[in-house]
A = this chain, B = another copy of it.
Amino acid sequence: MNLLALAGGVGGAKLADGLQRVVGENLTVIVNTGDDFQLHDLYIAPDLDTVMYTLAGIANRANGWGIEGDTYNNLDMLSQYGGEDWFRLGDRDLATHLLRTQMLRGGYTLTQATQHLARALNVRANILPMCNEAVATIVNTNAGELAFQEYFVHRRWQPVVKSYRFHDIEKARVTPEIQNAVQNADAIIFCPSNPFVSIEPILSVKGMRELIQKTRVPKIAVSPIVGGEALKGPAAKMFQELGMEASAFQVAKLLRGVVDRFVLDRIDEAQARSIKDLGMRVWVTDTVMRDEVGRERLAREIVEWVNR
């Protein structure tokens, strides 16, 4: 069975890892690149890296991002020089940015660079950036307009979000690799990633939403909001700041018209009825992936639900 997953950062990467454990190289993951930015003239793709490191089995176990056992001597020296040091570039991690940037300057597409790096790390799944064009998620906050990493890392998502937009999204196109992956997919899984700044950028690539909508396979979302909270990151806070209740039901509402099945945590079982009323089938289970076993268990339940 060919699975296609849409993912952002840490939460999405965990479910993608679970799916890879179940279907191996039959998994393709489309990853948000709206978070990508330049630092020290290097092209940095935080979500692509988190997904790649997680699928390669080298992600930092405590943070979810970065490489396990990485050191920060380069960052320390950058600090000593008075350089920008708010984004924690690890010494090993930096090799990814150096090589990717070099490949991009040399004419590789972001898709080609991603595949080259992932292959070198023996990742079995196929990791695809949502597009090859540079798109930048911009968050409009009470502290002004902020590039996403500026908001997320530098300001630790403390500013209040008023709105957000995807700069240059109109220039982004569905790649042939994604077109192919969608057409060959037997199911599409929306990983538990931030619906506003991880899933929405992917769906906003010209043609992406329609391509997914017209494919007649199960489309299953896993809620990133559990018990009214996000396990990691600003998703719940953003719901509130944007005037919505932070709930699995709200996630389902945002994905209505694209998704037809919804995986809900037991703690939110009371919302199953409202989600079904949106026209979705609902599966209630434990969605919190505490470790690799939890990732694989959730992934296997989803696959079995699709097969049933």
Tell which of B74, B80, B92, B101 touches A41, judged by Cβ atoms closer than 8 Å. Answer: B101
Contact (Cβ within 8 A) B83 A99: yes
Whole-angstrom distance between the alpha carbons of A119 and B90 in the complex?
25
- A78 on interface, CB distance cutoff 8 Å: yes
Contact (Cβ within 8 A) B74 A120: no
| Cβ < 8 Å to B, chain A residues 56-107 | 67, 70-71, 73-78, 80-83, 90-96, 98-99, 101-102, 105
Whole-angstrom distance between the alpha carbons of A95 and B70 in the complex?
16
Contact (Cβ within 8 A) B81 A40: no
Q: How many residues of A contact B (CB 8 A)?
A: 31
| Cβ < 8 Å to B, chain A residues 112-167 | 117, 120-121
Contact (Cβ within 8 A) A91 B71: yes
Closest CB in chain B relative to A78 CB, distance in Å: 5
Contact (Cβ within 8 A) A92 B121: no
Closest CB in chain B relative to A49 CB, distance in Å: 12
* A-B contact sample (18 more), CB < 8 A, given A76-B92, A77-B92: A40-B98, A40-B101, A40-B102, A41-B102, A42-B98, A67-B77, A70-B73, A71-B71, A71-B73, A73-B91, A74-B95, A77-B93, A77-B94, A80-B121, A82-B120, A91-B91, A91-B94, A94-B94
Some 11 contacts from A to B, beta carbons below 8 A apart, are: A40-B102, A41-B98, A71-B73, A71-B91, A75-B95, A76-B92, A77-B91, A77-B92, A80-B121, A81-B99, A81-B117
Task: Name A residues whose Cβ lies closer than 8 Å to a Cβ of B.
Answer: 40-42, 67, 70-71, 73-78, 80-83, 90-96, 98-99, 101-102, 105, 117, 120-121
